[in-house]
């Protein structure tokens, strides 16, 4: 994942770039709007963090120009806390989300993950991890080329785990993304479905790939 950070204030730029790099993102920095436009038209970034207040072209103008140039990279605007007009203007100019300054690293990272995820969801019908392949359009799942028959719920559960793989999907997130609002959180339905999915995609022929992360959730991971 490669991210473009557009920020003229050194201190903020350093802090943001460091936080992203520590979380395994590749990061490029542009210190002006003009430079950002140039870089974003040369490289296909997974996400752009764009400060509103820049010397020369403003973040809003940069955003508008990128969208006019049909560059649809997800954009997270960094705005001043008090200025609601700035946020509205940013969203109108084509930004996907905004974050008000000052912000906590954890929130920045969460917003970036959400943006990147949205982009992955748009990227195509096939999700892959290790030897598992899930085709959203054809509603088909294969492991090592062999078709595996899944129910709709099992399919949705695997789809969600694949969208996060190899990261952990928390139980809460799974419930939010796979079940509707009528889900009774007191039941052990998630566990039941995870076990069924395990039997179907691993069984006796394949290695274990769905792991339980105790107290948190589940993840897809290939054994080391």
Distance, in Å, from the CA atom of 205 to the CA atom of 82, rounded to the nearest integer, reads: 58
In the chain, which ranges are E strands?
2-6, 26-30, 47-51, 75-80, 97-101, 126-129, 132-135, 140-143, 146-148, 169-170, 210-213, 217-220
Tell me how far, at minimum, the Cβ of 102 lies from Ca ion, in Å: 13
For Ca ion, which stretch binds (CB under 5 A), given 9-17, 37-45, 81-89, 93-101? 9-17
* Between 95 and 209, CB nearer to Ca ion: 95
110's CB contacts (< 8 A; 6+ apart) are none
Tell me how far, at minimum, the Cβ of 40 lies from Ca ion, in Å: 17
Tell me how far, at minimum, the Cβ of 221 lies from Ca ion, in Å: 40
* Between 101 and 136, CB nearer to Ca ion: 101
The answer to whether 8 contacts Ca ion (rule: CB under 5 A) is: yes
Tell me how far, at minimum, the Cβ of 114 lies from Ca ion, in Å: 23
The answer to whether 198 contacts Ca ion (rule: CB under 5 A) is: no
The answer to whether 15 contacts Ca ion (rule: CB under 5 A) is: no
* Between 37 and 197, CB nearer to Ca ion: 37
Tell me how far, at minimum, the Cβ of 118 lies from Ca ion, in Å: 25
**What phi-psi label fits residue 69: left (phi over 0), alpha (psi between -120 and 50 degrees) or beta?**
alpha
Distance, in Å, from the CA atom of 72 to the CA atom of 47, rounded to the nearest integer, reads: 9
* Between 49 and 197, CB nearer to Ca ion: 49
For Ca ion, which stretch binds (CB under 5 A), given 6-14, 40-48, 61-69, 199-207? 6-14
Which of positions 36-65 make contact with Ca ion (CB under 5 A)? 51, 53
Distance, in Å, from the CA atom of 48 to the CA atom of 119, rounded to the nearest integer, reads: 12
- Check: CB of residue 48 under 8 Å from CB of residue 40: yes
Distance, in Å, from the CA atom of 224 to the CA atom of 212, rounded to the nearest integer, reads: 16
Q: Which residues bind Ca ion (CB under 5 A)?
A: 8-9, 51, 53
């Amino acid at each position: 994942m490669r991210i473009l950070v557009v920020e003229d204030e050194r201190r903020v730029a350093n802090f943001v770039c460091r936080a992203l790099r520590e979380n395994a993102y590749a990061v490029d920095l542009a210190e002006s709007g003009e430079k950002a436009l140039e870089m974003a038209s040369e490289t296909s970034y997974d996400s752009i963090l764009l400060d509103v207040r820049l010397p020369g072209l403003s973040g809003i103008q940069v955003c508008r120009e990128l969208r006019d140039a049909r560059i649809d990279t997800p954009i997270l605007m960094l705005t001043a806390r008090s200025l609601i007009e700035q946020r509205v203007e940013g969203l109108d100019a084509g930004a996907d989300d905004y974050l008000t300054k000052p912000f906590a690293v954890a929130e920045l990272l969460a917003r970036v993950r959400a943006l990147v995820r949205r982009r992955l969801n748009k990227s195509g019908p096939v999700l892959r991890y290790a030897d598992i392949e899930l085709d959203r359009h054809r509603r088909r799942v294969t492991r090592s080329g062999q078709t595996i028959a899944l129910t709709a719920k099992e399919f949705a559960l695997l789809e969600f785990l694949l969208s996060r793989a190899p990261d952990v999907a928390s139980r809460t997130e799974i419930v939010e993304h796979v079940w509707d609002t009528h889900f009774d959180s007191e039941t052990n339905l998630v566990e039941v479905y995870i076990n069924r999915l395990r039997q179907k995609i691993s069984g006796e022929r394949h290695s274990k790939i769905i792991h339980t992360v105790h107290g948190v959730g589940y993840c897809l991971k290939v054994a080391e």
